[in-house]
Amino acid sequence: MNNTFLMWPGGKNWFVKHQSYRLPAQYNRYIDPFLGGGSVFFYMEPDKAILSDVNSELISTYLAIQQDWEGLDRNLRTHARKHNDAYYYTVRAQHPRTLVRIAARMIYLNRTCFNGIYRVNRQGEFNIPKGSKNTVLTGQEEFERRSVLLRNADIRCCDFEATIDEAQEEDFLFCDPPYAIQEEQNFVGYTQNLFHWRDQIRLANALERASRRNVKILMTNANHPSIRALYENREGFLLDEVSRYSSISGNSSGRKQYSELIVSANI
């Protein structure tokens, strides 16, 4: 399964299309502490997985697919039938409490908001205006099949470090931390809690511990001197630079080729 069901900032569809040869053929569990759109998970279709993210609505969406994909499908079809400009803002202002309604709202907003951008304010409220796309059902949902793939996955809302520290020998750890470098060289996350430089340091230290446990590691990150310096002198880590195109941006100037850093260990 090559496609995610979400348009996600920093999504890894480009990675599975052009860099999948880097993924290990043999491993025990697949572990992803920055789940996002789940492109690599759905591409690899692992038998066992630990999937986590700090975005509670995102994790609720995966749990809804895992536990009640039919209910999610019904709710999303209701959104598709009612969709218009006013309805979008009505749904955006809602705070549903059940898994299927949280998931249906998130997918609906993701597909109809401006340029597929996910952003929340300091209060954790989604605040992106309606976009020009009106297609709610794309034909690539495949919720039933995704539910089967997620059946044996442990899905959690938690900090990345806790998930990484569970990885053991022969597990495969794929890490795609939230990052975007602005002119002032800040790293920007997509939840109300920004992914700070201190989090990049925590990540590097956690990956070094995992490497010493003989965990198979593959990470994508910003190809920036400060990031490279975090890993260049750590034993066992290999660094490689690749180019990719990003189409998710608030303006056309942000849609361009970017240089990314791929860090690996024990692969």
11 has a pLDDT exceeding 90: no
Residue 140 pLDDT exceeds 90: no
**221, 231 contact by CB (below 8 A):** no
pTM: 0.90
Write out the DSSP string of 129-177.
PB-S------S---HHHHHHHHTTEEEEE--HHHHHTT--TT-EEEE--
Mean pLDDT within 203-210: 98
Top CATH class of 13-54+158-265 equals alpha beta
Report the distance separating Cα 63 and Cα 56, nearest Å: 10
**Distance, CA of 99 to CA of 151 (rounded, Å):** 16
Indicate where the chain has its CATH 3.40.50.150 domain(s). 13-54+158-265
- Tell me the average pLDDT across 3-31: 90
The string of pLDDT tens digits covering residues 57-96 is: 999 999 999 999 999 999 999 999 999 999 999 999 999 9
In the chain, which residues fall in CATH 1.10.1020.10?
Answer: 63-144
Quick one: how far is CA 198 from the chain centroid?
Answer: 20
In the prediction, which pLDDT does 4 show? 87
Q: Specify the CATH architecture of the domain 63-144.
A: Orthogonal Bundle (1.10)
